[in-house]
Amino acid sequence: MPSADIIDNSTFRLGRVRRSLLAIGTLALAVVVLAGCNNTNVPTGGGSGNSVSGNTIPVGAYLSLTGDEADFGKTTLEGAELAVDQINAAGGIGGKMIDLKHENDESEAAKAASAVTKLITSDKVVAVIGEIASGRSLAAAPICQDNKIPMVSPSSTNVKVTQVGDYIFRVCFVDSFQAYALAKFATDTLKAKNGAMFIDSSSAYSKDFAAEFKKSFTAMGGTIVQEAAYAPTDVDFKGQLTKLKTANADIILVPGYYKSAGTISKQAKELGITARLLGVDGWDSQDLFVTAGASLEGAYLSDHMDIHSSKPEVKAMVDAYAKKYPGRKPGALTALGYDSMMVLAEAMRHAKTLDGPGIRDALAAVKDFKGVTGTFSIDGDRNAQKPAVILQVKGNEFQYVTTIEQPTK
């Protein structure tokens, strides 16, 4: 992620208040006494100490409900809320109802850190869902890690997210696999030999995805013949697109979010670019078509699932969503929000204690969980092992094309 997005998380870490010399002395004495008593229940690694004490289980969600990726944040929250409704209607977790508390980080990394801090310190949550964007997950994850509060990201695909620590999980696949899946489709199905890439220079997600795609595409015999970059605040992309056009590539990868991708595709069409546009899961929003119009017809993208699938679990979720949120269409991000809450609930059912460490241990042990976005297990790096799908834009819909499985290690 760019240095401008890197914040000093020590500002937000809990339990680091200035103490008087008397308080320090008192604390030191207490530690000595406890050590002498050999009390093995005394926490030694810090942490918030949040736990369930009443008839509700406080769970937090920090998401971009306004700002550049607001559509993703809203639909993810809706998926999580739908899951909570169903969990509580079925009796909750051992009779305790889940109380989902959410904070809007306004699509900003610093505010994501503040939101998570509030959820932990004020709302006393025992687990957190978020964020949809890797940059904001990277800003908030150290706070959850330091306070031993499990965090489950619905859709932050950057591989670095779960590397923050052993309390950080995700229910989506990682970009190294998603890039492999898209490169394999481009090579095997589209028979692409030459590729170009148009990268969001401010996004860790976009830059790392492009690097992974280039690695996979070249390993499969392809060549990246041209690269260009843009900023998310840009509105005129024609200079960079003209440069890409001269490369005569078979495909142009645009690894970024729907807001910029729609305008890029429209301007590419106006310039007469005929190379096939390839997108990523960050495209999966109905807001993409607000700016793109018909310019994306025939483009392909990698994604987490086919929301139009006839699988019973998918249909059940889509039908329940339509009933709860009339007039809104669910997407893969809705389903990932739903799966995030459902896998947390599954972990809570098996946790030895309903606190951060207990839930963390149960999450790490999840195997063959049947989610809406597929059946998955949590691996040793706390990532979900699952396939990807390739979708094609037809009209204002994403239509299923094929499934790409995880490569054999």
User: Is residue 370, in this structure, part of any structural domain at all?
Assistant: yes
Other C-beta atoms lying within 10 Å of the C-beta of residue 57: 25
Answer yes or no: do 269 and 398 share one domain.
yes
pLDDT at 409: 62
| Residue 45 forms part of a structural domain | no
- Kindly state whether residues 107 and 147 are assigned to the same domain: yes
The Cα–Cα gap between 311 and 305 comes to: 11
Candidates 283, 260, 280, 263; CA nearest to 271 is: 263
142 within domain boundaries: yes
Any domain includes 5 = no
Q: What is the pLDDT of residue 12?
A: 35
Judgement on whether residues 126 and 186 belong to the same structural domain of the protein:
no
Considering the chain, what is the average pLDDT of its residues? 89
Q: Is residue 28 scored above 50 in pLDDT?
A: no
Find the domain containing 144 and state its range.
Answer: 56-173+310-378
Q: Categorize the per-residue pLDDT at 68 as very low, low, confident or very high, splitting at 50, 70 and 90.
A: confident
Nearest to 335 by CA among 384, 265, 381, 293: 384
Q: Can you spell out the DSSP letters for 139-164?
A: HHHHHHHHTT--EEESS---TTSGGG
Tens of pLDDT, residues 127-172: 999 999 999 999 999 999 999 999 999 999 999 999 999 999 999 9
Half-sphere exposure of 265 (CA within 13 A, CB side): 30
| Position 77 in a domain | yes
Domain check: are 79 and 91 in the same one?
Answer: yes
Task: Look at the chain and report how many structural domains it folds into.
Answer: 2
1 within a domain of the structure (yes/no): no
CATH number at residue 287: 3.40.50.2300
Q: Which residues have CB under 8 Å from 21's CB, separation 6+?
A: none
CA distance 180 to 43: 42
Looking at the structure, tell me whether residues 255 and 363 fall in a common domain: no
What pLDDT is stored for residue 3 in this prediction?
Answer: 34
Do residues 296 and 265 lie in contact, with contact meaning Cβ atoms separated by under 8 Å? yes
Share of the chain above pLDDT 90, in %: 83
Q: Phi/psi of residue 72, each to 5°?
A: -65, -45
Q: What is the dihedral sign for C-alpha 117, 123, 127, 129?
A: negative
Is residue 230 within 8 A of residue 184, CB to CB? The reply is no
Q: Name the more confident of 29 and 87.
A: 87
Give residue 11's pLDDT band: very low, low, confident or very high (50, 70, 90): very low
Q: Who has greater pLDDT, 42 or 78?
A: 78
| pLDDT for the residue 14 | 37
| Mean pLDDT across 304-326 | 96
What is the per-residue pLDDT for 328? 87
